[in-house]
Structure 1
Amino acid sequence: MIRDTAAQDQLIERKSGWRRWWRLGVVALVLVIAAVAGLPTLGRLFSATASVSSSRLAFGTVSQGSFVRDIAAEGQVVAANSPTLYASYGGAVVLKVRAGDRVSQGEVLASIDSPELSNKLAQEQSNADAAKVAWLQAQVDARQKRSDQQNTYDNALLERNGAARDLKRTQLALDAGAVTQQQVDQAQDALDKAKNSLAQAKADQGLGENSLSFNIQAKKLAYEHEVLMVQDLQRQVENLAVRSPVDGQVGQLFIAPSAAVAKDAQLLSVIDLKALEVQMQVPESLARDLGIGMSGVISGNGQTWNGLVSAISPEVVNGEVAARLRFVGQAPDQLRQNQRLSVRVLLDHRENVVTVPRGSFVDELGGAFAYVVHDRLATRVPVRLGASSIDKVEVLDGLKPGDKVVISGTDNFNNAASVAISD
């Protein structure tokens, strides 16, 4: 017969279960208290119309403090004055400088050989000399004609005076009975004829003077016209020597060192190194607040310079607007065109402003709503936003300091009134 283990069994005294029930009661009480405390949160969570993972969202806290609106960007040094020189006349051009050479104002940069223009100048100079001779000859002829007209007038005056004396003597003779009335009448007719001749000589003298003056004036104007033609051609010939309009540096060469070009062809450009500006690209959203005359800070090469906004482009290219800053005072000598510098333009600075970190929610919700997070539940609330900076947005109404706001990823909410946020 096989023995079992009954001999090894030992009866254990069964203890009272009040302690076990007491523990269970404490656990149940804790669960009830937790359930009562979490009922509002659970209610909100169950009332949410959607649930989104927090990994797809970005959060920010509303704060109150200083609000600085500025634009910080990388700028590029450009020449505010970079004239391009053109050929004033067609011909063979020889460049006397190379790209990058330093030049001074008035220095000859290129010369143009134009035989056609030189010949035209010589012809016009000859025409001017001929016009001058014609003008001088007209003056000599005028003096001669004035002398002849004066002689004619003087003779008519003598005849008039002689006829007057003859009439007087004849009248006296008639009174003495020595002559007849017919002779007196003849003397009177001779006087009248002499008067008419004198009047005609005087009129001819006036008309002749006007004619002579007009002729001299016409010859003079013709001569002055030729002089102006010569001066213009001389200016064109002088411009065949292309000179630098500013102190600066030769920029781009548009032709070979020796080439034949047509009139108004581009030759080269000159960069005025004393008129440098810094061009920056501003996001379209911030460009509307940018104005000419705003102060800025330009930094680079371990130095800092003050600047002013001098120009703003009227067009938007790839979502950006080009703006230029000029240096306050004289531009630094060590700068070069196309050099990269850092630019910061101050738009606004205020204290005690309620702000929220800037995020895509401004565009996603149109700036009219924001989702405030409390107990893992995001609730949509109406807000009114103000100015924007690089990293902050001014809050005018709807949010208070300390509020936790969803600043990115609200496009996942589909405009729901409340959204549960899961881990």
Structure 2
Amino acid sequence: MNMKIADTSAQDLIVGQARLKGRRIVIAGTLLLLAGLSVSIFIYVADVFTSGRVLERSAIRVATVERGTLVREVVSQGRIVAANSPTLFTPEQGYVEMAVKAGDTVERDQMLATIISPDLNELLARETANLTRIEAELGRQKIESKRRKLELEQIIAMAQVSKNAMAREKLRADQAVNKKLISQLEYEKADDDLERAELELAQAKQNGELANESLGFDVEALTLQLKSQQLLVDALQRRVHELTIKSPVAGMVGNVQVINRQAVAANQALITVVDLSAFEVEAVVPEGFADDIAPLMDSEITLGGSAYPGVVTAISPEVVNGGVSARIRFADVLPENLRQSQRLTAKIFLENKPNTLIVNRGSFFDGFRGHVYKLQHNKALRVPVVLGSSSLKHIEIVDGLQEGDSIIISALTTNATEEQILITD
């Protein structure tokens, strides 16, 4: 019986063919890698040629557009000033006797100084004497008026008695002439006497009325003169009272501009009193913000590491050294241990815009010409943008960008007119 043993020829491979196939695979992979690399190089070279320049990512600052609240503000250095520091002046010419010195603590209505004015005191004494004289003249005139009125009343009464007597004589004459007891001549005389008595009575009454008017006028004239003199004396007494200089506020004596027993003129500056309970902030704001600041604007005062709310109370209309002076008062309770001329930082809030597209400020916007560079993968494309208001930290984006866009905010070394910039790592 013949048995055939199977060989392994079917499982054998030709060594030359296997090596050739492996080489082909390596060559194909290498070609694919070279092709991919070539494409990448081509794209990179194309980007380089189409881009105006190439920048490293570490050499630029990038900011993302976001939606938030834009707060326009201006920050300036300021100092503490007294909101109420009245300067007192001498009311009259004379010499001064000081009762306090600079730095003294004073209460309201406390005497600070006295002005000695001999001329004013002499004038007051003279006018007071005139007032006394007019009062005496008025009293004498009233007595004289009463006496004259009594005399006039007496004259009128005597005229009335005489008229009544003549009337009775006339009545008797009428009866007698009817009985033929008296002559016609005697009758006519009685009639004339009655008419004369009536005339004298009427004249006495008229004279009495005129005399009363004259006497009343004399009394009224002296009364008016007395009132006028009294007003003059009162005014002089007020002036003498004002020679005592009193503090209008409770606080501290500031600047004393005279020395004790010094001769002073009228309306000369004498002393300044600082109200320690009323301090404000005086801040110098750049001239460019002068038109944007108005009274009642909110502010923030930073003093000693703490922030305090404030309110703008006034803005100076005058520009000095490129700035305007603004006054800010503390909105709440005054901080403790405030000192005159103490330095601080004041921030005034000019505008508050909620729900606004904003982006961080950067030096790129210092020379802004209507375009920014928006990042897109490894490129920065030049796109037109409309900007709005700006604050110390942010700038408003009105048009041209959307929320989430990233832009270059660092300054570029050229005029940045290229349409595209290549960004490399």
- Specify the TM-score bucket, using the shorter chain as the normaliser: 0.7 to 0.9
Deviations 1:158-196 (A, max 9, x none): 222222222222222223233344444433333232222
Shift of 1:247: 0.8
Q: CA RMSD in A?
A: 3.6
| SS of residue in 2 equivalent to 1:314 | strand
Match of 1:61 in 2: 64
Indicate conservation of the 8 Å contact 1:313/1:323, yes or no: yes
Match of 1:6 in 2: none
CA distance in 2, matches of 1:202, 1:118: 51
Structure 1 window deviating more from structure 2 (399-408 vs 255-264): it is: 399-408
Pick aligned residue for 1:353 from 353, 356, 360: 356
| SS of residue in 2 equivalent to 1:82 | coil
Match of 1:323 in 2: 326
TM-score w.r.t. the length of structure 2 is: 0.80
Q: Output the amino acid matched with 1:64.
A: R
Match of 2:110 in 1: 107
Match of 2:405 in 1: 403
Residue 208 (structure 1) aligned with residue 222 (structure 2)? no
Residue 370 (structure 1) aligned with residue 371 (structure 2)? yes
Pick aligned residue for 2:237 from 234, 245, 258: 234
Q: Output the amino acid matched with 1:31.
A: S
Match of 2:122 in 1: 119
CA distance in 2, matches of 1:183, 1:412: 144
Pick aligned residue for 2:228 from 215, 225, 229: 225
C-alpha distance 408-163 of structure 1, shift in aligned 2 (>3 A): farther
C-alpha distance 54-194 of structure 1, shift in aligned 2 (>3 A): farther
CA distance in 1, matches of 2:254, 2:155: 76
- Identical amino acids, percent of aligned pairs: 32
| SS of residue in 2 equivalent to 1:85 | strand
Indicate conservation of the 8 Å contact 1:83/1:269, yes or no: yes
Match of 1:134 in 2: 137
CA distance in 2, matches of 1:314, 1:124: 48
Q: Which has the larger radius of gyration?
A: 2
Shift of 1:408: 6.2
TM-score w.r.t. the length of structure 1 is: 0.80
Indicate conservation of the 8 Å contact 1:54/1:421, yes or no: no
C-alpha distance 119-54 of structure 1, shift in aligned 2 (>3 A): farther
Match of 1:191 in 2: 194
Shift of 1:266: 0.8
Shift of 1:121: 1.8
CA distance in 2, matches of 1:59, 1:337: 45
Pick aligned residue for 1:144 from 139, 142, 147: 147
Q: Output the amino acid matched with 1:311.
A: A
Pick aligned residue for 1:307 from 301, 306, 310: 310
C-alpha distance 346-183 of structure 1, shift in aligned 2 (>3 A): same
Match of 1:8 in 2: none
Residue 268 (structure 1) aligned with residue 277 (structure 2)? no
Deviations 1:378-405 (A, max 9, x none): 52514141x3322112222222223344
Residue 31 (structure 1) aligned with residue 32 (structure 2)? no
Deviations 1:40-72 (A, max 9, x none): x45642xx5x99999998654322234344455
Match of 1:7 in 2: none
CA distance in 2, matches of 1:301, 1:338: 14
Indicate conservation of the 8 Å contact 1:413/1:419, yes or no: no
Deviations 1:181-213 (A, max 9, x none): 444443333323222222222222222112112
| SS of residue in 2 equivalent to 1:125 | helix
C-alpha distance 61-303 of structure 1, shift in aligned 2 (>3 A): closer
| SS of residue in 1 equivalent to 2:262 | strand
Structure 2 gap segments, 5+ residues each: 1-19
Indicate conservation of the 8 Å contact 2:313/2:327, yes or no: yes
Q: Name the count of aligned residue pairs.
A: 400
C-alpha distance 152-377 of structure 1, shift in aligned 2 (>3 A): same
CA distance in 1, matches of 2:325, 2:154: 83
Structure 1 gap segments, 5+ residues each: 1-15
Indicate conservation of the 8 Å contact 1:51/1:419, yes or no: no
Q: Output the amino acid matched with 2:393.
A: D
Residue 154 (structure 1) aligned with residue 157 (structure 2)? yes
